[in-house]
Chains A and B, each alone.
Chain A
Amino acid sequence: MNGIDVGQPTAVRLFLVFCRIGLTSFGGGLSGWLLRELVQKRQWLSEEEFLNGLALSQALPGINVTNLAIWIGYRLRGPGGAIMCFLGIIVPPAFIIIGVGALFATLSGFALTYPLLNGAGAAAIGLSLSMGLTAARRVPRRTIPLAMMVATFVAIAFLHVPLAWVALIGGGMSVALEYHRLMRIVPDDR
């Protein structure tokens, strides 16, 4: 279909892809990795579907990236897919962090470790930022969604409002306004 044979998202392929992302995503920005691997490279999901899942994962309690993994797994492959994606993104890195903990004394004596990690961390911020810009670019060019996006940014970045409040109050308001708008556009829909 797109010239590159990336195959269908079977449960095993999902597990392997999420393992790989779990094991190589140094410095955070995991949702940026997922966007790159699943939407841009393999085209298993549309950008639209991915961003919807991301928005829900952020609003729900729990770790955003595991929420997103379960969401995507369920969407692509049902219950088995959800379990495979969840295990793939958690279990292999869990072994790594214990290994890092055990090796830490040795590594911390190596002078290059910290600057290398700082540089890796800086590049990883690029993953989060490009994810954020992609999400912002797809926000509808209407007053209310744009205002909600800016208000959320200001509340967290400058006013230091706790995330839970932003999710509950900002998210609640935004959803209510959107529901109201949909009622006006298609009033006779259910």
Chain B
Amino acid sequence: MTDRLLALASIFAPLSLATIGGGNAVIADIQRQVVDVHHWMTNAQFVQDFAMSRMSPGPGSLLVTLIGWQVAGIWGAVVATASIFVPAALLVYAIAHVWSRYRGARWQTALEAGLRPVAAGMILAAVYVLLAAIQGGWLARGIALVATSALMTTRISPLVLIACGAVSFVVLQTAVPS
């Protein structure tokens, strides 16, 4: 049991700091460790866990919480979650602290202004990749675009929007079978 907790920590803690650009970057590494190296689950079980992490609320990286729970129960969940989130959290915390001490320094303005176009490109590219691979084809893409314009032009609550998306997808798919 303790062996498994240590193994979970030694897999996920380094990955915490390897996730530049977003949690999706390390999914392949997690899969390799959990399925191929430690044989904790089959590939099919891993894919199922991945799907569950996408359909649950909160950060997608909570996938590791689910894996930790399946591998070593509640303590496995705690160790896996802390390992993936805490190292990077401490880094950001330290940087936020430094940031507030040197407010307005030139390097700081340059970092903020320089990173913003890259961040905008990253977000739009991530959306492009999602739209290209979306389950549900053009109907789902249409819903995504309608949702975008609703968000940009009205004050609709995201929760209402997502509920409408879910219901209209089911209704339209039944009405217009593809």
Total number of residue pairs linking A and B with CB closer than 8 Å: 359
A122, B143: Cβ atoms closer than 8 Å: yes
Identify whether the interface residues of B are mostly helix, strand, loop, or mixed.
helix
B86-108 vs A, Cβ < 8 Å mask (1 yes, 0 no)? 01110111011100100001110
Among B49, B55, B117, B146, the residue within 8 A (CB) of A126 is: B146
Q: How far is the CA of A171 from the CA of B20 in the complex (A)?
A: 11
Q: How far is the CA of A155 from the CA of B126 in the complex (A)?
A: 11
CB proximity of A84 to chain B, nearest CB, Å: 13
Residue of B nearest to A190 (CB): B106
> How many residues in A have their beta carbons less than 8 Å from beta carbons of B?
105
Residue of A nearest to B125 (CB): A156
A90, B81: Cβ atoms closer than 8 Å: yes
Among A22, A166, A168, A177, the residue within 8 A (CB) of B58 is: A22
Residue of B nearest to A145 (CB): B117
A58, B22: Cβ atoms closer than 8 Å: yes
Give chain A residues whose Cβ lies under 8 Å from the Cβ of B158: 24-25, 29, 32-33, 36, 127
Q: Is A6 an interface residue (CB 8 A)?
A: no
B25, A164: Cβ atoms closer than 8 Å: yes
A154-181 vs B, Cβ < 8 Å mask (1 yes, 0 no)? 0111000011101110110011111100
B58, A89: Cβ atoms closer than 8 Å: yes
B111, A56: Cβ atoms closer than 8 Å: yes
A157, B52: Cβ atoms closer than 8 Å: no
Give chain B residues whose Cβ lies under 8 Å from the Cβ of A153: 121, 124-125, 128
Given contacts A133-B148, A174-B115, contact A116 B169 (CB under 8 A): yes
8 Å CB interface, B135-178 against A: 135-136, 139-141, 143-148, 150-152, 155, 158-159, 161-170, 173
A-B contact pairs, 20 of them (CB 8 A): A58-B118, A62-B88, A67-B89, A82-B96, A90-B59, A90-B85, A104-B52, A120-B55, A121-B135, A123-B162, A128-B126, A129-B145, A130-B151, A133-B148, A148-B117, A149-B118, A153-B121, A164-B25, A175-B114, A182-B109
| Residues of chain A having any CB pair with chain B under 8 Å | 22-33, 36, 40-41, 51-52, 54-67, 70-71, 74-75, 79, 82, 86, 89-90, 92-94, 96-98, 100-101, 104, 112, 115-136, 138-140, 145-146, 148-153, 155-157, 162-164, 166-168, 170-171, 174-179, 182-183, 186, 189-190
Known: A62-B19, A97-B58, A129-B124. 15 other contacts (CB 8 A): A60-B91, A62-B92, A63-B23, A66-B92, A100-B52, A119-B168, A119-B169, A126-B146, A129-B127, A132-B124, A153-B125, A156-B121, A171-B115, A175-B115, A178-B109
